[in-house]
Amino acid sequence: MKKKKRGAILISLMLIFALCIGGVFFAATHYLGKINRVGDIEPIPAEEEFFDTDDADPSLEVVDPDSIIWDNAATRNDEDLINILLVGQDKRPGQGRQRSDSMILCSFNPETNRLSMISFLRDLYVQIPGYSDNRLNAAYVFGGFPLLKSALNTNFGVTVDGCVEVDFNGFKNVIDTIGGVDIELTEAEAKIIGDGAKAGKSHLDGEHALMYARIRKIDSDFGRTERQRNVLNAVFSRLKNSSVSELLGLVDTVLPMITTDMTNVQITSLAVKYAPALVDLKISTYHVPANGSYKNAMVRGMAVLVPDLAKVKEAIFEDYLPLD
């Protein structure tokens, strides 16, 4: 009788375990089925590539593209990191794939619980595999996620495990869904945002958070990318204090607003393994290129940042990525 009882208990436990696993599976299927998938990417033929030219700037050196020598030396291995690329697309309703307005690599080290947010400036002049050298943000419009990931690897040595993209409307809706974000504004930023915004800690809804994240004219694209990282930091801070039920409600609302190239299995695996660690996440932020590792120039009629790849990659792998 005891053996039969132990057998019945074992079978019951196995059934409960199976039901739990099934519940997780169906829950994951329910939520992750809401995410937009990339599908097949139709790249622009190389003969149809284009360059978004700018007005001539006499203060900038005109550089012959054939004179630029790229450093494609191997870099350190980053396979122990989880590298997810966040892409903000410069896209309005009714438009097809456009340039990537923002590109932020979120690099997570599960051993140290450190996360680095690294902005790659859109005006970086880089190698675009299969095309002529161009601005980094051209890689996205030419070939979507695959070409953008390839360009980042070719030029900077980083390996992107997956991409998540949101357009302007999606960005506003995500911020509104989490109840807005708290941002420290300067007087100049508050003046541009308007609507009663003042210098100091301010609570911004989706529309005003987008305005803040896109401000450029008061400084430069370097300042703009810092503001984008500030918004992401504020989002993390808000989510860390949310309950499980609140998070599930947010997930249900937010997922239809994003697009990814990751599978349900990949996303579920990452969530199960690393979500609990996010509460005590240690975040650092950076931008590429760093001061002293590039020069401003006119190349192919474009005002761009020509990086010194040797210096840039040294900074990325020695200081920016949370490898240690």
Instruction: Report domain extents, the chain.
Output: 49-163+268-324, 181-233
Burial class from Cβ neighbours inside 10 Å (0-12, 13-18, 19+) for residue 234 reads buried
What six digits make up the tokens of 255? 């997922």
Kindly report the pTM of this predicted structure.
0.85
Give pLDDT, residue 27.
Answer: 54
Half-sphere exposure of residue 17: CA atoms within 13 angstroms, side-chain side: 6
Spell out the CATH class of 181-233.
Answer: alpha beta
Give pLDDT, residue 20.
Answer: 41
Give pLDDT, residue 212.
Answer: 93
Judge whether 309 and 155 are in contact, CB under 8 Å: yes
Give pLDDT, residue 2.
Answer: 46
Give pLDDT, residue 311.
Answer: 96
Chunked mean pLDDT (size 10), the chain, 324 residues: 51 46 52 79 92 93 96 90 87 62 91 93 96 95 94 97 83 85 94 89 93 87 90 84 71 81 84 74 93 96 97 96 92
Give pLDDT, residue 9.
Answer: 56
Q: Does domain 49-163+268-324 have CATH number 3.40.50.300?
A: no
